[in-house]
Amino acid sequence: MANLKNRPRFALSERTDNRVALRCAEGARIELFVLADDIIRVLVLPHGELRGPRTWAIAPGQEDVPLEGRDRYDTSGFTPAPFTLSEEAGQVVIETSQIRVTVALDGGFCAWQIRRDGRWHDVMNDRRTQAYNFGWWDERVYHYVERMPDEIYVGLGERAGSLDRANQSYEMRNVDAMGYSARTTDPLYKHIPFYVTWQPQTSTGFGLFYDTLADCRFDMGRELDNYHGHYRHFVAEHGDLDYYFIASPDTPLNAVRRFTWLTGRPAWMPKWGLGYSGSTMSYTDAPDAQQRMAEFIDRCREHDILCDSFHLSSGYTSIGGKRYVFNWNRDKFPDIDGFVESYLREGVRLCPNIKPCLLQDHPLFESVADAGLLIEARDGEPAWVQFWDEVGAYLDFTNPRTIDWWKARVKDSLLCHGIAATWNDNNEFEIWSPDAIACGFGKAFPAREAKVLQTQLMMRASRDAQREHAPGVRPFLVSRSGGVGMHRYVQTWSGDNYTSWETLRFNLKMGLGLAMSGVSNSGHDIGGFAGPAPTPELLSRWVAFGIFLPRFSIHSWNDDGTVNEPWMYPETTNVIAGLIKLRYRLIPYLYELLWQSHRAYEPVLRPMFAEFPDDPLCLADGDDMMLGASLLVAPVVEAGRTEREVYLPAGARWASYWSGEVFDGGQSVTMPAPHHRPVMLIREGQAIALNIAKQHFARPADERAFIALPCAGVGVARGECIEDDGDSEAWRDGVQSRWVVVIESDAQCLRIAIEWHGEMPRVQNEVRVSVPATDTRSVICVTGELTDERTADGWRHLTVRLVH
């Protein structure tokens, strides 16, 4: 193999419809796949052949991949894009309408350009001093690239610290990081080797996805070596250098959309998954757990707390002080069916905790081990691992018989009792020994080389069990750990966070990092999971932030035995109950955002700079975020604050949700921020769907309305809202409808059109559209009769009675 003194010299060896192969005399290969105008894949094979397993990540526009994985040379799902190939002056140039990559035949170094505004922009160069590992160092996988000044890096999943990953290094080595610091702890729970590079000087960016299942590390400029200039790099412990370059001119959001498309369609989950979900360790750890669970429902009713689900912690499986998956503690839960039914009568679904490791004294351990369903050591014994306070062994989900066993247990232990969902927890698969072997669907390999694959297959098995048990119902699943493609199966959260104001601030950034990594259906343990109990102020501020996230669950295991619940502090109970009602008011908008994530791969949460890349003041790493394209949310993340300074991006006006007051963009404003009124601003040209029906516990109501900020002059404001039964799979057969609101404006007049499209019957004939009261233009409705009401709340309510 080549060495540092003699770099490999490549020659063009093959071209097919979408693949170009380069080969050197020593046997190394570089293959480039033109998968779309804006996506080119690079595969570097130092030994001329694949070393890693198949891929479970690549599913372009699809809901899933084959259970045993997808062949890495499978290009199905891609439409070959036209490209030109030229060879001159010791280099090969591949060019599409959006990307030009130049490969130096001496060493195989790649230089990348993106077309923007009719000209080519240099965006990334391999480091000329040793970009790849052609057997020079060890068996690991390396990729070094030059680092340009002022680049911004976002993504890599849920990382602690700033949203911009520049000047930091990160490990992807999933661990159970209970009580982590949201500012400093690394690694954490998820393995998503994708990030977006944004270059503000030219408003150009790109995404890089490294398709690996191995533990890996990203250095984003923290490391410095005098011999190589400024660089950043990726290192994987095993496998191949197999990466995807995704062009993203004009906006960093395109890279996120295309990466999400590349790795599969996000799951369309039931609407109730957007409601408040109660949870705490203490209830199921109590000896009278069933009674304690009944008290939760009573307290929700007492305080008029809306609730759609409850995450049943693992104490329901206990024997003594330890937890045994799929075991019901009959002393704690003497009437399982009655318990589940009591919750369902109140409209509350249960989501029980399940874990992929069997403790050595688990009642089923011997039979499972004898059947060969566990990850085993080379000597055939179980591959022992530490799991909570005991030793155990992980189930091997690369064995089809294990998957069948798991699905049967999910059905027999949980779903048959009327339970609607699964909470896949403690699934980091912390396997470190090289002697632990996974079945690998018949091609055994060391389990530590693809730990996150076990996580993915576990959640898939749970999903499939739910589909098989109730094929007409949308599955709802939650998973703490995961990797690329987890969005095809589950909702997730940022794990066992520590209770502090710092966590509140940095959890916001973690959620944005996940969304910019293709995982939008996420949230956090509101109030903090581990550590001290939150103060009343911290709890209410955390709720006021959490109501805007797709996952909204209050969960805890506080050091002092207290429980984070809406009624934890009498002085804040009414505030929190009101905030939860505000959450339910916003569910139609959130549901539409999740539909756009499913249908068009749009991120639900967005950093300010990603939505407004041309506004340099949005590049600051602040504490604000966009919820979709329409709503700016500015949580209070510091103690003692009653106001919130907010920068309003240039190029649009903004209206306060609470007062209707309109502000010009391009300025900072100070907004009142009482606990019960989180700062929310609607963007000009947008209309947001709301549920304005009065809500009470166990009496769900739904009445659609919209709140909008029409354009000041000539322009169009628009909003849409998906409507279906919220639970079944009938949407697959087109049983859906949607509201569409359009407000065309000029200097004198607003012209409103409200339309209903789809197969479902329309359930209301009147729809209210609220605009700021300061907008005094005349109004014409082209689709119905109009009532114009001005009120003291700062909004002008335009009620349209539809005529057909």
Residue 223 lies in a domain: yes
Residue 376 lies in a domain: no
Per DSSP, helices labelled H in 547-620 are 570-600, 608-611
CA 619 to chain centre: 22
Contacts of 413 (CB under 8 A, 6+ apart): 326, 327, 328
Residue 7 has pLDDT above 90, yes or no: no
Residue 117 lies in a domain: yes
Q: Does residue 466 sit in helix, strand or coil?
A: helix
Task: Report the percent of the chain where pLDDT is more than 70.
Answer: 99
Residue 136 lies in a domain: yes
pLDDT band at residue 3 using 50, 70 and 90 as cut-offs: low
Give the containing element (helix H, strand E) for 207: strand 204-210
- Bond preceding residue 187 cis, omega within 30 of 0: yes
Q: What digits encode the pLDDT tens for the residues 408-419?
A: 999 999 999 999
In this prediction, residue 135 carries a pLDDT of 83
In this prediction, residue 649 carries a pLDDT of 98
Residue 662 lies in a domain: yes
Residue 118 lies in a domain: yes
Which amino acid is located at 746 in the chain? D
Q: What digits encode the pLDDT tens for the residues 642-658?
A: 999 999 999 999 999 99
In this prediction, residue 593 carries a pLDDT of 98
In this prediction, residue 136 carries a pLDDT of 82
Strand 686-691 relative to strand 704-709, pairing:
antiparallel
- Average pLDDT on 415-428 reads 97
In this prediction, residue 440 carries a pLDDT of 97
In this prediction, residue 2 carries a pLDDT of 47
Sign of CA dihedral 508, 510, 513, 518: negative
Residue 792 has pLDDT above 90, yes or no: no
In this prediction, residue 121 carries a pLDDT of 97
Q: Are 772 and 796 in contact (CB under 8 A)?
A: yes
Give the containing element (helix H, strand E) for 223: none
Of the residues 213, 236, 262, the one at which a domain ends: 262
What is d(CA 281, CA 430) in angstroms, rounded to the nearest whole number? 23
Q: Are 83 and 95 in contact (CB under 8 A)?
A: yes
Of the residues 210, 245, 262, the one at which a domain ends: 262
In this prediction, residue 472 carries a pLDDT of 97
Least confident of 86-95, 282-291, 426-435, 693-702: 693-702
Residue 255 lies in a domain: yes
Please report where in the chains the tokens 């400029």 appear, as a residue.
Answer: 221
In this prediction, residue 342 carries a pLDDT of 97
Q: Are 274 and 550 in contact (CB under 8 A)?
A: yes
For residue 779, give its domain range. 606-802
Residue 92 lies in a domain: yes
Q: What digits encode the pLDDT tens for the residues 24-50?
A: 999 999 999 999 999 999 999 999 999
Q: Does residue 52 sit in helix, strand or coil?
A: coil
- What is the three-state SS of 494-557? CCCEECCHHHHHHHHHHHHHHHCCCCCCEECEECCCEECCCCHHHHHHHHHHHCCCCCCEECCE
What is d(CA 513, CA 160) in angstroms, rounded to the nearest whole number? 9
What is d(CA 161, CA 182) in angstroms, rounded to the nearest whole number? 6
Assign residue 760 the CATH number of its domain: 2.60.40.1180
Q: What is the mean pLDDT of the chain?
A: 96
In this prediction, residue 1 carries a pLDDT of 42
- Average pLDDT on 778-796 reads 93
Exposure letters 203-226 (e unless 16+ CB within 10 A, then b): bbbbbbbbbbbbbbbbbbbeeeee
φ/ψ of 749, rounded to 5, equals -145, 150
Please report where in the chains the tokens 């919130």 appear, as a residue.
Answer: 644
- Average pLDDT on 624-637 reads 98
- Average pLDDT on 468-472 reads 98
In this prediction, residue 129 carries a pLDDT of 92
pTM of the full structure: 0.97
Assign residue 133 the CATH number of its domain: 2.60.40.1760
Q: What digits encode the pLDDT tens for the residues 200-248?
A: 999 999 999 999 999 999 999 999 999 999 999 999 999 999 999 999 9
Q: What digits encode the pLDDT tens for the residues 513-545?
A: 999 999 999 999 999 999 999 999 999 999 999
How many domains does the structure of the chain reveal? 2
Of the residues 237, 262, 287, the one at which a domain ends: 262
Q: What digits encode the pLDDT tens for the residues 496-513?
A: 999 999 999 999 999 999
Residue 4 has pLDDT above 80, yes or no: no
